[in-house]
């Protein structure tokens, strides 16, 4: 029996960009041989998609939709900014985020599988569905930069949607990696500590002084990389947490192209 296991189909799809169904058919015809399946796809109407699938996708665009307390972001990858700005590419992105909002991530992935080969052939570049995320919270604010390269959703447990949107705009500009200082990973801290120790050793700092300095550096690093403790871009005299008032951030998603 030909090997058309899920892992083999997934492998062929990653090599070609062709839909799961087409990959399975080609593998069945090729007796489970991936290289033969690729040749079959090249000889069929999928040739263009297969040839382009190896190209890097360093460009793309983000698509954001919000309805009440629910919002979604979709990343659509492509090779060039020229195609990312193409009206058809934009139309597909808007269609994808609409499906995400109405039917969820799995339905979006299934739809992308079924149409991606046609999109590749129409636009002439390697195109693929990137990350897709849907968020729900009592209060939501969202922001997408006018070049469609950065998109943010911030959800809070209460408060005002305009404030949540302000925080989303802040996050787009400042790229906090975490919501609170406590969430900064041990791995990130340990990497920074190794650098600080080298620097302080080179400066000839004694061991006991070095430990105190590193405590201060860790506190500052945590605060600078956490959303709620960053200086608020619209009013640097405040922290983001001050602007939030008694609201707490319960959801935070930031995506960027590249």
- Tens-digit pLDDT string for the chain (258 aa): 455 677 788 777 766 667 788 888 889 998 988 888 887 877 766 645 555 555 566 899 999 999 999 999 999 999 889 999 999 999 999 999 999 999 999 999 999 988 988 898 888 888 889 999 999 999 999 999 989 999 999 999 999 999 999 999 999 999 999 999 999 999 999 999 999 999 999 999 898 899 899 999 999 999 999 999 999 999 999 999 999 999 999 999 999 998
- Domain final position from 80, 113, 136: 136
Pair (74, 45) in one structural domain: no
In a domain, 63, yes or no: yes
Pair (130, 59) in one structural domain: yes
- CATH number of the domain where residue 15 is located: 1.10.8.10
Confidence (pLDDT) at 11: 76
The backbone torsions φ and ψ at residue 168, rounded to the nearest 5 degrees and listed phi first, read -65, -40
Confidence (pLDDT) at 45: 61
In a domain, 162, yes or no: no
In a domain, 253, yes or no: no
Pair (235, 187) in one structural domain: yes
- CATH number of the domain where residue 74 is located: 3.30.479.20
Inter-residue contact 138 to 252 (CB < 8 Å): no
In a domain, 151, yes or no: no
Pair (26, 80) in one structural domain: no
Pair (13, 85) in one structural domain: no
If one counts every other C-beta atom within 10 angstroms of the C-beta of residue 247, the result is 19
Confidence (pLDDT) at 1: 46
Inter-residue contact 145 to 205 (CB < 8 Å): no
Cα gap 131→146, rounded to integer Å: 19
Pair (66, 131) in one structural domain: yes
Token representation of residue 248: 């707490």
Token representation of residue 111: 């739809």
Domain interval for residue 191? 181-244
DSSP string across the chain? -----HHHHHHHHHHH---HHHHHHHHHHTTT-HHHHHHHHHHTTTHHHHHHTTS---EEEEEEEEETTEEEEEEEEES-HHHHT-HHHHHHHHHHHHHHHHH-HHHHHHHHHHHHHHHHHHHTS--EEEEEEEEE-SEEEEEE-TTSSEEEEEEESSS-HHHHHHHHHHHHHH--SBSSGGGS-HHHHHHHHHHHHHHHHHTT--HHHHHHHHHHHHHHHHHHTBGGGSEETTEEEEEHHHHHTT--EEEEEEEE--
In a domain, 141, yes or no: no
- Positive or negative: CA dihedral 220, 139, 69, 60: negative
Report pTM. Answer: 0.75
Tokens 């605060």 belong to residue: 223
Cα gap 153→174, rounded to integer Å: 14
Token representation of residue 55: 């190209």
Confidence (pLDDT) at 112: 93
Tokens 């892992």 belong to residue: 7
In a domain, 69, yes or no: yes
Pair (102, 48) in one structural domain: no
- Domain final position from 82, 107, 136: 136
In a domain, 148, yes or no: no
Pair (122, 100) in one structural domain: yes
In a domain, 172, yes or no: no
Confidence (pLDDT) at 229: 97
Count of domains forming the chain: 3
Confidence (pLDDT) at 51: 52
Pair (65, 97) in one structural domain: yes
Pair (73, 128) in one structural domain: yes
Token representation of residue 8: 């083999």
Pair (210, 196) in one structural domain: yes
Confidence (pLDDT) at 17: 66
Inter-residue contact 79 to 58 (CB < 8 Å): yes
């Amino acid at each position: 029996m030909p090997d058309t296991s899920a892992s083999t189909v997934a492998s062929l799809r990653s090599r070609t960009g062709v839909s799961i169904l087409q990959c399975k058919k080609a593998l069945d015809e090729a007796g489970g041989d991936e290289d033969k399946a690729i040749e079959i796809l090249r000889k069929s109407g999928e040739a263009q998609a297969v040839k382009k699938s190896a190209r890097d996708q360093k460009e793309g665009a983000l698509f954001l939709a919000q309805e009440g307390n629910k919002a979604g972001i979709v990343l659509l990858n492509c090779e060039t900014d020229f195609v990312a700005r193409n009206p058809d590419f934009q139309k597909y992105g808007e269609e994808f985020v609409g499906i995400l909002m109405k039917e969820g991530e799995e339905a979006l992935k299934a739809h992308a599988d079924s149409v991606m080969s046609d999109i590749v052939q129409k636009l002439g570049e390697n195109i693929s569905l990137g990350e897709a995320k849907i968020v729900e919270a009592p209060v939501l604010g969202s922001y997408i930069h006018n070049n469609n390269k950065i998109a943010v959703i911030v959800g809070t447990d209460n408060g005002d949607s305009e404030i949540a949107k302000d925080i989303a705009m802040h996050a787009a500009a400042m790229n906090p990696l975490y919501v609170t200082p406590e969430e900064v990973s041990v791995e990130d801290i340990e990497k920074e500590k190794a650098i600080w120790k080298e620097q302080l050793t080179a400066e000839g700092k004694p061991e006991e002084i070095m430990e105190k300095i590193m405590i201060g550096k860790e506190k500052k690093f945590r605060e600078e990389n956490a959303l709620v403790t960053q200086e608020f871009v619209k009013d640097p005299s405040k922290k983001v947490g001050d602007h939030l008032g008694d609201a707490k951030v319960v959801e935070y998603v930031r995506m960027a192209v590249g």
